[in-house]
Each structure stands twice: as structure tokens, then as C-alpha cells.
Amino acid sequence: MQNSISTAAGIGPKRATALHERNIDTFADALLHLPYRYIDLRLRHNVANLRPEMDAVIEGRLEGLNLRPRRYGNFNSASSARLVDSTNRRIKVVWFNLPSYTQFPVGEQVLLCGKVTVGNDGALQLTHPEVHRLAGDAVPPIRPIYSLPKEVPQRSFFSAVSEGLAKLRSGSSEASIGAMPVELSREGGVLSVADALRYLHTPPLDASIEQLESANTPAHQALALDEMFAFQLALCRDRARTRQRAGAVMAGPARLTESFMGSLPFVPTGAQLRAIDEIGSDLAAPAQMNRLLIGDVGSGKTLIAFWAALRAAESGYQTAIMAPTELLAEQHYRSFARLCGRLGLMSALLTGRVTGNERARNLRAIERGDFSVVFGTQALIQEGVRMRNLGLAVIDEQHRFGVFDRARLIALGSEANVMLMTATPIPRSLAQTLFRNLEVSALDEMPPGRTPIATQIFRDGTMAEVDAMVRTEIAKGNRAYYVLPLIDGENDDERASVLSMAKRLGVSLKGCRVGVLHGRMRAADKDRAMREFRDGALDVLVSTTVVEVGIDVPEATVMVIVAAERYGLAQLHQLRGRVGRGAAPSRCCLIVSNGAGGVALERLAVLARNASGADVAQADLRLRGPGDLFGARQTGALPLRFAHFIRDWRMIETAGELAEQWLDRDPKLESDASAGAREALARILDSGFSLGDIG
């Protein structure tokens, strides 16, 4: 299956190069490139019922063929014929740039499948259709249509896919096309990957077009299960290895941590105390801690990180806390000084802004062990950073870092315990099932006194009403965010762009100070915009979702999200969490585009009804299943193709159970039956997989 696709009939060097741009290099790649839609050849259309742009399937007789083969230098040579259907009506048929050896069954009954267009004479015509002879040809009941580069015809690619399917039937390649061993899928009554691919590329006569195009067939589920089996296999092996690694043991007297908890100006939530107990038990054990802390924005994850850092310090170890932005690292550094400074611990800040002699002094002090806690960004993992006795690595908003960034931080201490923190709303039960290599703690309570955020849905034409709300808040000394999906845009998309919104607000909020923030800006300019907004030099910040991981701005009381239907519920919830951090009432305004449908409005209504991330995540699971958790944002570099087919999170649980079963039988994956599993694991590891690779 790993033979080059260039060896397939009809795929020469030029077409192979075009397919390479789509990461289709082998027959296996071609088989895993699924159709995005299907044409039902079981249907028949009459000429009288044709409409422009429809995909037509017409049975009839070809006549009047005018064959004009392609000649060198002539790229628009048009051959034509007439098709006479069963009602004796005729339609012109046109083919472009046919090879000289093309032959058509003139006078015979044929089935034509192609797009209806309008010709130069204003009459309808069938343009470049496929021709199937009804006498002798095996006409497929359902024709798959693939997303392909323009150089590769559908029929040529399908021919290559058919060749790949034939290789599967030969037997030797079937065991390794999927990760799950064939005997395991048979025992579980699961469709094998080979059978699933045959179904999706050559659907049977009784297949449902609707189910195929909505990815809701047993074949789609089989591919998702197989992929999740490989992912869970990697997690199970990683967890087993982690349990064998020695970790820094933190079991000394609790002088600092007890003093810290007793001095807090508020009462920790039950969820925070539970997480502290769980983490404390991990830190006292001889094995390396590997824990994920899940909690809404504002649920108190930072308090847990500070407690763990103090536990490390009173046990003689250093802690590194890495944040995705300089502003967030600075905020943590200042919060630690405010809450823990009286305990006598020294802490340091390493970011891109710390340079020259100051950086050199800090590096020497860190290496000597003078600083118990070091806060920073990726500057923590730059050359020259050495820690005397790193016992704890904390990674905040860890999905914002690449797996190699995380690995380099952990490498600063071979026995360092690891705590990952994320605000991505995901139910604890699902997190425990999905990420089997991690222990999971969840902060499912909000601290008392947290200001509720009123969430309202507005249509696109009511922006003046929203602007009036914002102006009222600014008059009170508060601030507002406007979040948009595009930096700039044209025509209809212009209204959903940062630059056009900033220009519009310059008029509608005249007298207010408006700033912009987006991904094309230099890092220094982005940093300056956030600082100015934090410090009150700006009243309004118009941004893309780069503001999602921001800083605490207690004066920010309004979050306006334009084209809200374009975002997932998890991301909307995190954006909403940028406000409501002070004492003043806050609101989130979801602006829905005029073209948004009922499903989009239903999803946004779920967000408006639910305040907690856990409730939002549960609702999203009911609406769409857990597949969205495996989108690009969530999985980083993981090569997951089919996870979005998952309809029920119990499939993830099943995949994990099957992975554990197989590792019990073949712990080292040495058997011939594990060949596909070994290949799948190699792909995951090549992608840079590491523990906690989540969103």
C-alpha cells in the first residue's frame, strides 16, 4: 500500500506532483482521501427536467458525434454529440480536449453523468460528462466525488483508488491499512478499516446518500474508532512509561503552604481544595506527576499552581511556570509577589523583554538556585537557561505551546513533576477517558463573588443598539472588546473584519479611544495594544481571537463577538471569560450574521443559557458529539483524519479499552498482527506526540 501513486494507470508525473501537494503520495494515502460528496447513479433525469448547475444522470442514446481530438497548442478543442432520452428529447453534450484515441458507443444505450450548463447559444448542455455503457459496463450505483487538484480528473483518481482497493483484496496489505488488529475488530464485531474503505469508495446499492454525505455510516465510525484506537494505544504506553519514571518527591513539612492557605483574603472553593489534595498526593509519591488541571477562565487555576510551587519550594525544589504571552507571565509573576511575597521566597521573570545584564544576572541566580519560582514564556526554554533543582514544571494554557516546547521545559529537570493547565471546557469524565496518560483534576466551581456575565444574541442589523450599550459602559469608566473572525475582508466579509470594524467604531463611538489587535501585527505592537487596553489608554480593543488568551482587565465589562456562528461553543465561552473579572455587571453580545441558520442559532442559545464551561461542554456534546474536541486547535500536530466522525464519546472509551486489551496480549507490539498498530504509532510519534497533547 506504500507504493507510489505515480505507478497507477492514468497518474503520470504531473498528476502525481499535484497530488503530492495534497499529501497524497501512496495508494494508502489515496484510500484514506475520502469522497466529500456522491452522485446517485440509481436516479435517472429526463432532459425536460434539467436545470443549470445540477448534477444530471441521464440514460439515452448518443448520436451525431463530432469528435475533435486535442492537438498540440489547442487547449480548447470541443467535441460534441446529442443525447436522446427515453422521452425522445435531445440535449447537446460537450467534451473538451479529448485524446485522439477516445471512442464513444454511438447508437448504444449509455448513461451520462455530468454538470448541466448553459451553452453559448443559451440552450442547456451537458458538459464533459462521464460515459457508461449500459451493455457490458458495470455501472456503479453511487459515484464518489473527491476534492482534487485541477490537474487530476475524477475518473483517473477513482481508477487509482480502485487499484488500491484491489491491492487490499490481495490480502497481504489488509493487516496494516488500519491500526486495529483484524482479529480484535472481528472479536468486537467492528467493521475492519479495509471493509470500511471499500464501502466509502464503492458504496453498495442499498447505501444512503444522505448518510454517506453526513459521515453517519458504520464505515465512518469504523475509521474513527481505528484512529482513536491508535491514539489511545499511544496514551496507554505513555502512561505506563510515566509510572516507571522517578519524580521529585515533595513530602516535607508544609510550613509555606499552610501559611499561604491561611493568609488568603478569600475562601477557596471545594473544587480547589479537592485539586490541592490530588496534586499533593501526586507530589508526595515517588513516581513523576503527570496531571491535567481543567478549569474555566476565572475558576482559580493560578491559586493551585502557586500552592504547588510553594510545596516544591518547601521540599527544596524549584518551579518553572510557563505562560503563552509576556503579559500573562508578568501577571502571574506580580500575583505571586502579591500573594506569596511575605513568605520570603524569591521569584524571577524571564520573557523577551528581560534582556542584557538583567537577563544575565537572572540566569546566574536561577542556576545557583536563588530563585524558587521562575515565571516566563518560551524564553524559559532558550539556550543558556539552567535550573539547579527543577522539581515542578507548570504549563499554563498548554494547548498554545508545541509539544517540543513542553518537552524542552520538562527537560530542564529529569525528575520534574508536570502540571498542565487548560481553560478548554471539557467534562472531567470525558477528559479521563480521552487522555489516559494523564491524571485529571477539574475545577467545576467558580469562586464566590464572581460577577455573572449576561449573554445576549443580536442580529447583524442591530449593531447600533450594541454600540449604544458599549458607549454607556465606557461613560462609566469601563472598557469593551469587539472580536471578529477576519483581519480584513472584501464585499460581504468586510463587516466581519477587524480593520473595517475599527474604522466604523471611529465614527459610531466618536471620542472613544479604539485600538486593534490581530495576528499580523509584530509581537511588540500586539504587546503594546494589550498593555494600553489594560492600563486604560484604550477604551475599546478590536481584535481577532488572539485576545482569547489575555490578561485580567477588571474594567472590561462588554464582549462583542461578531459573526459568532463561525466559532465553536468552547471558543465562544473562553472569549466570554475575558469579561466579568471585576465587580461591575458584565455582558457578552453574540452578533449573528443575517445568513446564519436555525442550527447556528440553537447552538448560540445553548451558550446564552449556560454559564459554566462544564455545562457548555456537555451541551455541545449533546448537539454535535465530541468530534469537535479533535479539531486543529485541540490536537496540535497530531495527524488525526477521522476523529470528527465520532458521534458518541463512548467510542473513545471503547477504543481505550481495546487498546488496553491488545497491550495485555502484545505489550511490545511485536507480533505480525500488530504491524498496523506499529505503523500508526510511528506516524503519531513522527508528528511530535507528547503527553498532554490536548486543547
Contacts of residue 448, Cβ cutoff 8 Å, sequence gap at least 6: 266, 267, 269
- Angstrom distance (rounded) from CA 431 to CA 446: 19
DSSP secondary-structure letter at 96? E
pLDDT tens-digit series, residues 538-551: 999 999 988 877 67
Q: Are 539 and 481 in contact (CB under 8 A)?
A: no
pLDDT at 74: 52
pLDDT at 633: 39
Q: Are 538 and 529 in contact (CB under 8 A)?
A: yes
pLDDT at 174: 46
Domains annotated on the chain, with CATH: 42-139 (2.40.50.140), 255-285+300-422 (3.40.50.300), 453-611 (3.40.50.300)
Task: Please report which confidence band the pLDDT of residue 455 belongs to, taking 50, 70 and 90 as the band edges.
Answer: very high
Contacts of residue 318, Cβ cutoff 8 Å, sequence gap at least 6: 312, 366, 369, 371, 372, 373, 374, 387, 388, 389, 390, 391, 392, 413
Task: Please report which confidence band the pLDDT of residue 603 belongs to, taking 50, 70 and 90 as the band edges.
Answer: confident
Looking at per-residue confidence, does 586 or 242 come out higher? 586
Highest mean pLDDT among 206-220, 397-411, 643-657 belongs to 206-220
Looking at per-residue confidence, does 647 or 485 come out higher? 485
pLDDT at 436: 82
Beta-ladder partners of 481: 541, 559
Picking from 619, 653, 551, the residue whose alpha carbon sits closest to that of residue 231 is 653
- Surface-to-core class of residue 552, CB atoms within 10 Å of its CB (0-12 exposed, 13-18 middle, 19+ buried): middle
Report the alpha-carbon angle 116-118-123, nearest 5: 105
pLDDT at 639: 63
Task: Please report which confidence band the pLDDT of residue 37 belongs to, taking 50, 70 and 90 as the band edges.
Answer: very high
pLDDT tens-digit series, residues 619-634: 777 776 665 555 433 4
Looking at per-residue confidence, does 161 or 105 come out higher? 161
What backbone torsions phi and psi does residue 206 show, to the nearest 5 degrees?
Answer: -95, 10
**At how many degrees (to 10) do helices 218-244 and 193-201 cross?**
150
**At how many degrees (to 10) do helices 613-624 and 598-609 cross?**
150
What percent of the chain has pLDDT above 70? 91
Compute the average pLDDT of residues 562-576. 88
pLDDT at 469: 96
Looking at per-residue confidence, does 431 or 417 come out higher? 417
What is the DSSP pairing of strand 78-85 with strand 90-96?
Answer: antiparallel
Cell of 254: 508544609
Judged by phi (left if over 0) then psi (alpha if -120 to 50, else beta), residue 558 lies in: beta
- Surface-to-core class of residue 200, CB atoms within 10 Å of its CB (0-12 exposed, 13-18 middle, 19+ buried): buried
Give one DSSP letter per residue of 322-363, joined into a string: E-SSHHHHHHHHHHHHHHHGGGT--EEEESTT--HHHHHHHH
**What does the buried/exposed string (b/e) look like for 302-319 if buried means 16 or more CB atoms within 10 Å of the residue's CB?**
bbbbbbbbbbbbbbebbb
Picking from 116, 53, 38, the residue whose alpha carbon sits closest to that of residue 83 is 116
Picking from 278, 48, 35, the residue whose alpha carbon sits closest to that of residue 145 is 35
Mean pLDDT across the chain? 87
Q: Are 233 and 677 in contact (CB under 8 A)?
A: yes
Contacts of residue 492, Cβ cutoff 8 Å, sequence gap at least 6: none
Residue type, 195: D
Compute the average pLDDT of residues 462-475. 95
- Angstrom distance (rounded) from CA 171 to CA 160: 18
What backbone torsions phi and psi does residue 247 show, to the nearest 5 degrees?
Answer: -120, 160
pLDDT tens-digit series, residues 171-184: 554 446 889 998 89
CA torsion through residues 144, 149, 151, 157, sign: negative
- Angstrom distance (rounded) from CA 649 to CA 474: 44
Q: Are 390 and 412 in contact (CB under 8 A)?
A: yes
Looking at per-residue confidence, does 31 or 399 come out higher? 31
* pLDDT score of 574 more than 80: yes
DSSP secondary-structure letter at 462? G
pLDDT tens-digit series, residues 81-113: 999 998 999 999 998 877 777 788 888 899 999
pLDDT tens-digit series, residues 284-343: 999 999 899 998 877 899 999 999 999 999 999 999 999 988 888 999 999 999 999 899
**At how many degrees (to 10) do helices 193-201 and 154-169 cross?**
150
pLDDT tens-digit series, residues 67-81: 887 665 555 678 899
* pLDDT score of 258 more than 90: yes
pLDDT tens-digit series, residues 499-516: 999 999 999 999 999 999
Judged by phi (left if over 0) then psi (alpha if -120 to 50, else beta), residue 64 lies in: left
- 3-state helix, strand, coil split of the chain in percent (to 5) is 45, 20, 35
pLDDT tens-digit series, residues 41-67: 888 999 999 999 998 999 999 999 988
- Surface-to-core class of residue 691, CB atoms within 10 Å of its CB (0-12 exposed, 13-18 middle, 19+ buried): buried
pLDDT at 452: 80
